[in-house]
Amino acid sequence: MQFAPVLRSEWLKIRTLRPLPGALLALFAVSTAFSALVGISEMPDDFDPLYISLSGVMPGQIAAISFGTMAVSSEFHNGALRLSLAAVPRRGRWFAAKATAVAVPALVAGLLTALVALLAARAGLGSLADGLTGDEQVRGVVGCGVYLMLMALFAAGLAMLLRSGVATLSVLIPFMVVVSFVIGDGIGPVVDFLPDRAGQLVFQRPQEGPLGPWSGLAVTALWTAAALLAGAWSLRRRDV
């Protein structure tokens, strides 16, 4: 079977499995609401208006991770993966179509979310956000959309490797909440290379450190590629 019809079938699954559009809606709602609330809060003198405006992505990214996880883990219910591979025996082609079907809506939702979150926060910040340049805002919105897509794909690859949505979320959510933000600063420069912390540099003003905005996003892309390759390896080597 050619790639295009495989992709159409995977897109149909994404569109009709109710929790998946719901996860993208939650991404939009949580991120924009949080950014709007932060925008009307009192700010310290040295705050980063770009990061503050897009800070709603931090809680919202859990929905993006859930989207990628559920898109893959749904295949392990009621023998769905066996049926999918019976229709598409070439496992690599099927997994590539699944990843594409995850990536495109996650990117579109991420870009829209970032744009609305930025506008909502700027409305609250008022003149405090006047220092933001057009280039910074474009980088923030585009980078944020790509970051959310990469996190959804990272979760999808890990879900294929672990073959469990519960296991995937049990690893990723505590990792981001506990390791990255609670104890991350205490483990030294290595924290800059964690998949979430590195990618989030793209919607911050440049800081001192080993990574810049785009190189940080590239680190997240490498983590994502590794997770997808591990998932593809698991799909090829293990019985369904």
Query: Average pLDDT for residues 138-156, to the nearest whole number?
Result: 96
**Mean pLDDT, residues 125-140 taken together:** 87
CA distances from 113 to 28, 90, 188, 198 (A): 5, 35, 32, 20
In whole angstroms, give the CA distance from residue 69 to residue 160: 8
The DSSP code for 133 is -
Greater confidence (35 vs 83) lies with: 35
Task: Spell out the long-range contacts of 162-165 with Cβ–Cβ below 8 A and sequence spacing 24 or more.
Answer: 163/73, 163/76, 163/234, 163/238, 164/73, 164/76, 165/69, 165/70, 165/72, 165/73, 165/74, 165/76
Using CA atoms, how far apart are residues 39 and 30, in angstroms rounded to an integer?
14
User: Residue 155's pLDDT is what?
Assistant: 97
pLDDT of residue 188: 61
Considering the chain, what percentage of its residues have pLDDT values greater than 90? 59
Mean per-residue pLDDT of the chain: 89
What is the reported pLDDT for 184? 58
Instruction: Give the tens place of pLDDT for each residue, 59-101.
Output: 999 999 999 999 999 998 877 888 888 888 888 899 999 999 9
The full set of domain ranges for the chain reads 3-237
Phi, psi of 18 (to 5 degrees): -55, -40
pTM comes to 0.93
Q: Supply the pLDDT for residue 62.
A: 94
Q: At residue 196, does pLDDT exceed 70?
A: yes
> Residues 158-192: pLDDT tens digits?
999 999 999 999 999 888 877 766 665 666 677 78
The per-residue pLDDT for range 213-233, each reduced to its tens digit, is 999 999 999 999 999 999 999
Q: What is the pLDDT of residue 182?
A: 67
